Structure 1
Amino acid sequence: MLTINIFKAIDEMIPKELALKEDKIGYFGINYQNSEIKNIKIMMDILPKNDDSFNKGDLVITHHPPIFTPRTPTYTVHTNWDVYKGGSSDALAKSLNLKVMSTFDITTGLGRICSCYRTLEEILNTVSQRFNEENTRVINGRNPNKIVKKIAILAGNGLSNLNYIKLAKERNVDVFISGDLNHQSSILAEKLNLTLIDLSHYYSEIPGLYALADLISSIGIPIEVIDPGVPWDYIKNLK
């Protein structure tokens, strides 16, 4: 199947019009828009070391826009996938067995508000089992018996955005789950008495990567999700 036909099929499933203004999506690469594709590789990011390992006939679909011009034909589905019903935040909610009720940020269409009835301890146990407790951090998590009825979910960098921390409080959620927790957002959450659960940017978007593969598999070309983990090493693992 030609790349140009694959791009058309993806755009019909996940319209570019859903993307946020000035988001970099679509085709990245040299002049390979009419190449015959035999395999699709789905990745969070493509790096030069990955690019060098792919073969002729491979197409890479990334969630994040490349920071260089790949040799391998590469197509990016970013905020249009985040906004898409069934996209990254919906997939994250599903992975945590949460029921989606509505959109978190009405202005952009990003994130979801979910309902549940569990203790905070149960929520933290579910998160730890699904994402490994070494990858997760929590603010205001020392009240295990707190009943959680309403959760905000945003795959990606929601916890680095102070406006999103404030929005979560305004939406009266009990817990906000996302990635990219930093010092300022931690202090703000402490002030607002809001529980934050940080899965990291990468792992909060991983369920969406597999959901994307499931959706695109309808094209009929072999698909592989490449999941190398976070792009850093822990010092303890270098010894």
Structure 2
Amino acid sequence: MKFQRIAGLLEKLAPKSLAESWDNPGIQVGNPQQEIKRILVCLDVSQPVVETAIERGVDLIVSHHPVMLFKGLLNIRTDLYDGRLLQQLLSKNIAVYSAHTNLDIAQGGCNDILAGLCGLERVEGFVPVQGENEDFMGRIGYVGESVTVVEFAKKLCASLNTSHVRLVKGGPDTVHKVALCSGAGAEFISQAAFKGADLYITGDLKYHEAQQGVKQGINIIDAGHFATEFPMVKSLAEYLRKELADIRSDVEVIEDSLSQDFFQVIRREGE
């Protein structure tokens, strides 16, 4: 199947028109007319992912985070990480397609996946984007049964298959209403508090942003950029398999199961 047709299936789920103005989704590397027989879905186009793609005979990598820098390439230094990555992709004729903020915003995208893993009900859009009320960044909803914020945090660790989350206890002890934004969404803390959320879930939280949550009376869970977004790999792979099966295509879709969070928790001796 042509790369261009697979791109069309991806844009059916997450139209590029949804992407933020600064973003760079779509075809990153390759020829739209290239024949594709095997796809690898991942979060990041990293060195281990590219090595896996080469070993498995992959023709197309579909990632969430774009491989091309947002500000554009000024040079390609093959002695450096990014340049070496591009050299490998081009030399092995491996194409790359990325669906980033458009997949965050899209119905069935990253934030809906995270809301499902959090067990939220009556889920709605959180922050309107692009001046419209129909498309939203993040989601907001309700837990089925009230739990303490600590209990919720422990369950979230299991749901996201992560060893830990960071909890800011700035709000009520019991959780009813939850807002979330996968990846990095600390800029929406005020909106979460304004909408009456007891808890806000995101990643990449800084100290003063945590302090802001306490001042505004809302709990915050920083579950990490990786953990809140990596579940999209499985979901996007399943979507592609279904779409390809519907058109009777024999293109194979595999998932990255090896990547891990860049951050590791090192505990002091005796703990």
**TM-based fold match above 0.5:** yes
How far the C-alpha of 1:128 sits from its partner, in A, is: 2.4
Q: Distance in 2 between matches of 1:53 and 1:209?
A: 15
Q: Is the 8 A contact 2:213 2:219 kept in 1?
A: yes
Q: Percent identity?
A: 25
The letter for the 2-side match of 1:2 is K
Aligned to 1:184: 208
Aligned to 2:253: 223
Aligned to 1:83: 105
Aligned to 2:38: 39
TM-score by length of 1: 0.87
- Trace 1:4-23 onto structure 2 (pairs within 5 A): 4-23=4-23
Q: Is the radius of gyration larger for structure 1 or structure 2?
A: 2
Aligned to 2:158: 129
How far the C-alpha of 1:134 sits from its partner, in A, is: 3.0
1:59 aligns with 2:60: yes
The letter for the 2-side match of 1:62 is S
- Trace 1:136-147 onto structure 2 (pairs within 5 A): 136-140=165-169, 146-147=173-174
Q: Is the 8 A contact 1:35 1:57 kept in 2?
A: no
1:199 counterpart (219, 223, 226): 223
How far the C-alpha of 1:50 sits from its partner, in A, is: 3.1
Q: Is the 8 A contact 1:36 1:57 kept in 2?
A: no
- The unaligned stretches of length 5 or more in structure 2 are 69-81, 131-135, 246-250
Q: Is the 8 A contact 1:136 1:200 kept in 2?
A: yes
Aligned to 1:154: 181
Q: Is the 8 A contact 2:170 2:213 kept in 1?
A: no
Q: Distance in 2 between matches of 1:171 and 1:14?
A: 26
The letter for the 1-side match of 2:128 is I
Q: Distance in 2 between matches of 1:130 and 1:14?
A: 24
From the superposition, tell whether residues 132 and 59 of structure 1 become closer, same or farther in structure 2 (CA, over 3 Å): closer
From the superposition, tell whether residues 107 and 223 of structure 1 become closer, same or farther in structure 2 (CA, over 3 Å): same
Q: Distance in 1 between matches of 2:168 and 2:255?
A: 31
Q: Is the 8 A contact 2:170 2:218 kept in 1?
A: no
Q: Is the 8 A contact 2:120 2:142 kept in 1?
A: yes
How far the C-alpha of 1:35 sits from its partner, in A, is: 2.0
How far the C-alpha of 1:135 sits from its partner, in A, is: 3.0
From the superposition, tell whether residues 202 and 57 of structure 1 become closer, same or farther in structure 2 (CA, over 3 Å): closer
Equivalenced residues, count: 230
Q: Distance in 2 between matches of 1:57 and 1:129?
A: 31
How far the C-alpha of 1:210 sits from its partner, in A, is: 1.8
Q: Distance in 2 between matches of 1:212 and 1:126?
A: 24
Aligned to 1:25: 25
1:103 counterpart (125, 138, 141): 125
1:209 aligns with 2:233: yes
Q: Distance in 1 between matches of 2:252 and 2:51?
A: 20
TM-score by length of 2: 0.77
